[in-house]
Amino acid sequence: MNRYTFAMLIGVFASGLLLEAQQAPRPLVSPEVRQDKRVTFRFRAPNAEQVFLAIDGAPRAAMQKDDDGVWAITTSPLEPDIYSYSFVADGVALMDPSNPSITLNLLNPDSSLHIPGEGLAWDVTNVPRGVVHHHFYHSNIVGDDRDFYVYTPPGYDPQAKKPYPVLYLLHGFSDDAGTWTSVGRAHVILDNLIAQGKARPMLIVMTLGYGAPEIVSRTGPTFRDPGLRQRSFNKFRDALFEEVMPRVEMDYRASKDRRMRAVAGLSMGGAESLYIGLNALDRFASIGAFSSGGLGEDLAAQFPKLDASVNSQLRLFWISCGIEDRLVDFNRKFVDFLKTRKVEVTLREIPGSHNWRVWRRNLANFASTLFQ
């Protein structure tokens, strides 16, 4: 190849790159957090007829399209927190392709927006850190291979004289065993609380909460099927009691004393915590339920032995729900049912709807009073 031919090839190649660069759409920045905490979201969809922003705790907001086919919206200032959001383009919910941060979920993953702020229990700070351990096992009860996570606090000593108290922390419907750490930041919350002297060093066990895994389906029987839901609750309870708890107590310096065991969870996991905990007070002395849903209508059948004797057996009984949550009516009804059985409990209603912004706060508040 002579110099002339080579120069021609280089010129053609360079022209192609220039043409490609001229034709390529400009890269988008989304989300863009401004100094005043306003946030601009952008989404390229030139053929869409209508696009909305759907973000935690707010109604859908219409986005505006520019001449390049980019839809955008700037919010009012947002409080420091972690938000889940998506774009709804012509009725289809989509994650933000410009944002690699994701709120993981088995059925409905979203994009994630983090606005840091002072004093948030779930923000990473310069304090000693615990460790999250990931375990796998085959469940003979459920008939599948599954996993669970164990958080050990900073300075965990497997040979400690006194065993560590244990919180069994349950996820919600369509979450998995890792969601309380990947989205809920349970390990960060406990690290910060322990460093501040607001919580006792404890183990947290987070396990897969489906006794009937087929319940997590887009096409088959759903969580609304009462028979399937009850079977899932029962088999999950059995797997927890007969498989997970014995292994945790064998592999970790975990307390077997009911006074040093707690069970708590959100949404489906809140209902499981109530169903399992209140019917197994020989195993748990503390119960937490956040935005519970899924117990059904016949509460007397679910809790046949509840009476005033429960009050002396419980160290902590904690029920909470967001005021804007669609499940707040059920939680009020459940508290009324407990009162007819002379069981002492208070429903803590806080601002918010059915989302992680509520549940992170629930965990921080619950853990601060647990095992004290």
Q: Which long-range contacts (CB under 8 A, 24 or more apart) does 124-131 make?
A: 124/188, 125/192, 125/195, 127/154, 127/191, 127/192, 127/194, 127/195, 128/154, 128/155, 128/191, 128/194, 128/195, 129/154, 129/187, 129/191, 130/154, 130/156, 130/187, 130/190, 130/191, 130/194, 131/156
Q: Which tens digit of pLDDT belongs to each residue from 239-272?
A: 999 999 999 999 999 999 999 999 999 999 999 9
In this prediction, residue 26 has a pLDDT band, given cuts at 50, 70 and 90, of confident
pTM check: above 0.85: yes
What mean pLDDT comes out for the span 212-236? Answer: 91
Please give the residue that has the higher pLDDT: either 2 or 164. 164
Asked if residues 127 and 220 have their Cβ atoms less than 8 Å apart, the reply is no
Helix (H, G, I), strand (E, B) or coil at 130: coil
Taking the C-alpha atoms of residue 178 and residue 168, their distance in angstroms, rounded to an integer, is 13
Cα atoms found within 13 Å of the Cα of residue 33, Cβ hemisphere only: 14
Domains of the chain as residue ranges with CATH: 25-115 (2.60.40.10), 131-369 (3.40.50.1820)
Q: At what angle do helices 226-239 and 268-278 cross, to 10 degrees?
A: 60
**Is residue 346's pLDDT more than 90?**
no
For 216-238, b/e burial (b = at least 16 CB within 10 A) is beeeeeebeeeebbbebbebbbe
Count of other CB atoms within 10 angstroms of residue 288: 30
Q: Following DSSP, what letter does each residue of 211-264 receive, concatenated? A: SSGGGS-SSS--TT-HHHHHHHHHHHHHHIIIIIHHHHHHHS-B---GGGEEEE
In this prediction, residue 19 has a pLDDT band, given cuts at 50, 70 and 90, of very low
